[in-house]
Structure 1
Amino acid sequence: MAETVVEEETKTSSAVDVPWNVVVHNDPVNLTAYVTRVFQKVFGYSKTRAEKHMLEVHNLGRSIVWTGARERAEAYVEQLHGYLLLSTLEKSV
């Protein structure tokens, strides 16, 4: 009779497991009202929250507008590029 061997599965951390940030960067082209509307449309943010992020972009040069799974973050970056907003993806620290 064969002996059953049970192996423990160990979870290794990978780039997929790490939360990812969607970062929007300041640009000299888009108007602040437009950026606010895009944040409302793409992320479903209230006007107040969208304005907060828009002001961070305008005053600080960038804002982390969303954090989560890489696949979703990549989709958000692609959407923002469709609205001509300069955005990138970075690992959350």
Structure 2
Amino acid sequence: MSIFTPIFSTEEDGDIAVADKVRVKKPSKYHVVLHNDDYTTMEFVIWILMHIFNRSQEEAMKIMLDVHNNGRGVCGTYSYEVAETKMNKVLSEAKKEGHPLLCTVEPE
């Protein structure tokens, strides 16, 4: 699906189509969400938030506490491709370190 929607009109002679306007649709945004589990350490979640999502230590602590207390926390909101890439980085790092951390992408 194209993000451009041209509006066409025809000239008086009838056989030439000319684009009058091009409407640009804003791309949808997606949340990257971390889900709580009983095995992944808080320190690892903070590390993920600081290194993959470029969060400060204070922001990472707040998001980690959301994950711990509410069962989930939003790490950031991005275009679909960026959100999917960040989710895959989280899952790869978690697997490498032996953590069952679940990370998903959800529409904003």
Do the two structures share a fold, i.e. TM-score over 0.5?
A: yes
More strand by share: 2
Shift of residue 4, structure 1, vs aligned partner:
3.4
User: 1:62-93: per-residue Cα shift (whole Å, max 9, x none)?
Assistant: 0111101000000000011012221001111x
Relative to the length of structure 2, the TM-score reads: 0.73
Aligned residues: 89
1:46 aligned residue (45, 48, 56): 56
Gaps of 5+ in 1: none
CA RMSD of aligned residues (A): 2.1
Q: Which has the higher contact order (CA 8 A, sep 6+)?
A: 1
Alignment of 1:1-93 (within 5 A): 4-7=16-19, 8-11=21-24, 17-84=27-94, 85-92=101-108
TM (norm. structure 1) is: 0.83
Q: Percent identity among equivalent residues?
A: 29
Amino acid at match of 1:91: P
Return the letter of the residue paired with 1:79: K
